[in-house]
Amino acid sequence: MCLLIRLVIKKLDRNWQACLRLALPSQPGWRGGGAGLAEHLWAGSGNRTAAHLQDMEKARPLWDNPLQFVFACISYAVGLGNVWRFPYLCQMYGGGGFLIPYIIMLIVEGMPLLYLELAVGQRMRKGSIGAWKIISPYLCGVGVASVVVSFFLSMYYNVINAWAFWYLFHSFQDPLPWAVCPLNSNRTGYEEECEKTSSTQYFWYRQTLNISPSLETSGAVQWEQALCLTLAWLVVYLCILRGTASTGKVVYVTASLPYCVLLIYLIRGLTLHGAVNGLIYMFTPKLEQLSNPKTWISAATQIFFSLGLGFGSLIAYASYNDPSNNCERHAIIVSLINSTTSIFASIVTFSIYGFKATFNYESCINKVILLLMNTFDLEEGSLTADNLSEMKDYLMAAHPQEYAQLSPHLKNCSLEAELDTAVQGTGLAFIVYSEAIKNMEVSQLYSVLYFAMLLMLGIGSMLGNTAAILTPLTDSKAITSRFSKEVISGFVCFINCIIGLIFTMEAGNYWFDIFNDYAATLSLLLIVLVETIAVCYIYGLRRFEKDLYTMIGRKLNWYWKAMWAFASPLLIISLFIFYLTDYILTGTLQYQAWDGTQGQLVTRDYPSYALAVIGLLVASSTMCIPLGALLTFVRKRLKRERVSTVA
């Protein structure tokens, strides 16, 4: 009888299904050939899985299309690290030879771990906390650790966008404010601090940061930087206001605009005088660096952090995918685009490097020539860059006393030394590039384009960071039943903005370096290690393989299984050991402080309270994992005792 009723219902379902799709638009099962009426009415049959029940309980927003998801992942993964970290590593570890360990680490570590996180998010359809809690209640601390790390990152990362806004606003001035040193108060000469350093460094350290001489001197909040930070958070809030509906539109811009700017800079960079010197320097492989363990460790670390693994952002983004989305293909696409972008950005950067180094080298040569001609009253044109070395030898032999007095003022000009100057991070983004831009024709245009690109890269990464925080919060019924998503997003942005004011103080840049160096290093390695072990050995690799087959309709390749089960965990453990060893061998942690009297950076030891903050940053996220497991164990134990007592 029951079978007959079921057949009748299925027959009627064919005619009514279209109407019911309109009547139940919020049910995810009705999108793209979901369950029919018979399956919904036949709930008592016990055929529905736990995952399907979760989907039916609460509608989950989806990306408009798979391309939008890919753009979101690219916008998040392709960030400032591709522009200011990867070129530095190439410069430090063998030029073109660095690409060999980098590509190997991409295959062994990058793609497998990216695929793992995307697959977990898409399968569990939850943020980081909910996803790992579904795999095992004892793993809830893994998700909490990801949220804590993402919260730390959001606190300081948006300060970079504030600096980009500051430079962007000043890019419309003619001349650029960092092109020349400002006059002193008497207007009889240039500022003494600026004369000791350079106009670009002076604008960065004094006029932008107004940096204090040490971490102990906190100073006041710089209101201009505070306003720029507020603007940066306002932009982020407007982008995440409506969840995937608004973020999905923004990522088209944040993901594509940087490539347009990089292409413009590539064309301009290749036409600059001396650009070839930089490209030759980059692509000349120093294969001896392959025997240096730090080369391989740096390649693995760059892949790891460049893709944004462990923050929970990729899991959050993938949770809004259609369950049948081919996340394997998207993991390969995103990782390859991310790595290609790093190489592309390096070509642009080294063309700028070559121009800057050649400009500084030729300026140094011209100053030496002018000094020698004025001192020894040489004829115009008798001294050139080609015969400078011979003329110096001649003058030293002909006029030994005069040359000896002049010698301390003669600089040793070297193009190789200029190219060997390794700069990364904010030094590359806001000093080196600014110095190159000021010497270009139509410098205002290139300055606007460059800092607009930095903004797009920074905002794209911030959207992923905030998604890692907001998705677990909006997954919680206890929170969403009391507050709307707009209120939750506004609260997170407001708290981050208020705390971020610390980084706009005179000592704020030192705190920025602390958070940047220690808030997300050991923590992320531990998080991703536990994630990999959890999927392979707690949830079960065979079980996860069946889930993937259900989602994408394809058996899991041996490559993914080998990487997840063996290669990637061993690599992460090696990185973890290296970091711990490096911290122990380093001894007292130090930082670079700006000494305005000398016009240069000096090395100082971190004070005791800064070391305490560093320890707290590392412990507050890593301890979430064991504490989460312990609390779950205690809760289950207490629940059993209550049940046994009642019985």
Annotation: binding site for Na(+): 77-78, 82, 306, 338, 457, 461
Beta bridge partners of 595: 600
Structure tokens at 197: 């350093």
CB–CB of 495/152 below 8 Å? no
Specify binding-site residues.
Answer: 77-78, 82, 306, 338, 457, 461
Tell the burial category of 167 from Cβ atoms under 10 Å away from its Cβ (0-12, 13-18, 19+): buried
What type of residue sits at position 519?
A
Q: Are the beta carbons of 181 and 194 closer than 8 angstroms?
A: yes
Residue reference for tokens 């905030």: 466
Residue 437 contacts residue 232 (beta carbons within 8 Å):
no
Centre a 10 Å sphere on the Cβ of residue 328 and count the other Cβ atoms it contains.
Answer: 19
Tally of CB atoms within 10 A around 136: 14
Residue 125 to residue 398: CA distance in whole angstroms: 82
Of the CA atoms within 13 Å of residue 394, those in its CB half-sphere come to: 10
3-state helix/strand/coil string of 235-255: HHHHHHCCCHHHHHHHHHHHH
C-beta separation of 563 from 112 below 8 A: yes
What does the alpha-carbon distance between residue 105 and residue 102 come to, in Å, rounded to a whole number? 5
Judged by DSSP in three states, 426 sits in: helix
CB 75 within 8 A of CB 464: yes
CA 247/CA 237 separation, integer angstroms: 10
Rounded Cα–Cα distance for residues 60 and 607 (Å):
48
Q: Rg of the chain over CA atoms, in angstroms?
A: 29
Maximum separation of any 2 CA atoms in the chain, in Å:
118
Q: How far apart are CA 103 and CA 100, in angstroms?
A: 6
Residue 428 neighbours by CB under 8 Å, 6+ apart: 83, 84, 87, 88, 349
Q: How far is the C-alpha of 354 from the C-alpha of 120, rounded, in Å? A: 44
- Contact between 112 and 564 (Cβ < 8 Å): yes
Q: Is 605 helix (H, G, I), strand (E, B) or coil?
A: strand
Alpha-carbon dihedral angle through residues 375, 380, 384, 387, given to the nearest 10 degrees: -80
